[in-house]
Amino acid sequence: MNLIHKAFKKPAVLDQKVHADFKVSERTDYSFARDVDIVSLGFSELLACSMYFPVMFGKSGDRLFPFALLGIGRNFFVDKEGRWKVDVIPKAIDLYPFGLSLEDDQSGIVVVDEAAYSEEGQRLFDEEGNETQYLQDIKNKLTEFGRDILQAMEFVKTLVEDNLLVNTNLTVETSKGKAEFKNILITNVDALKSMPPEKLYYYNLRAYLPVLYSVHLSIRNFKIFELIE
């Protein structure tokens, strides 16, 4: 499962030999994300992201995951100057030009967008081929993100096992465009209402319940697409 998005124009697995002289300039804005209209989310992001973005659940092979919609055909949350319009930025965006590819054994492979190369900037490897502190810091953030994604996937898996999600197709029409989503998963409200007390306790203990409600209500955020300039 690749945790990359439309901003990656030339994604490649990070390799010490291939990227020995690769440099990344300090990011000054989010103009790179103008075309990014969907991103995967980690569990710790779900509450915050569901405040602004429609959040739903999808499937890639055998993997279930949450994702945020940032627009329809383009990102509605980046202005003309490349500034992010709200105070919540998904990790997958903030980590660019780096991303992860999650393997079947749940290990993560670092991916870099070679299109982001800069002649001036931070090196990934020093003259001896060792990882720079900059790259080590990035890899630590990616490791944390990978764990967060796995936790999110476990969350969705639990919801499915407890019949709290139902498969549906969704068509959204706004003044800025139309989008169709097939085979997405949304909250089974009836099953949630009839959940036994011991299961509710478990969901509260794992902080699942507030996240589930917040994600369920985030469908209203399509209205933000209409309002945001």
Both ends of the chain: CA-CA distance in Å?
33
Q: Is residue 120 part of a domain?
A: no
Containing structural domain, residue 96: 25-101+151-227
Q: Is residue 205 part of a domain?
A: yes
Q: Is residue 201 part of a domain?
A: yes
Q: Does the pTM exceed 0.85?
A: yes
Q: Is residue 84 part of a domain?
A: yes
Q: Is residue 1 part of a domain?
A: no
Q: Is residue 55 part of a domain?
A: yes
Res 46: pLDDT: 98
Res 1: pLDDT: 67
Cα–Cα nearest to 40, from 3, 71, 72, 9: 3
Res 227: pLDDT: 82
Q: Is residue 58 part of a domain?
A: yes
Q: Is residue 62 part of a domain?
A: yes
Res 4: pLDDT: 82
pLDDT tens digits for the chain (229 residues)?
677 899 999 999 999 999 999 999 888 899 999 999 999 999 999 999 999 999 999 987 788 999 999 999 999 999 999 999 999 999 999 999 999 987 766 678 999 999 999 988 999 999 999 999 999 999 999 999 999 999 999 999 999 999 999 999 989 888 888 888 888 999 998 998 899 999 999 999 999 999 999 999 999 999 998 888 6
Domain count, the chain: 1
Write out the DSSP string of 210-226: HHHHHHHHGGGGHHHHH
Res 106: pLDDT: 60
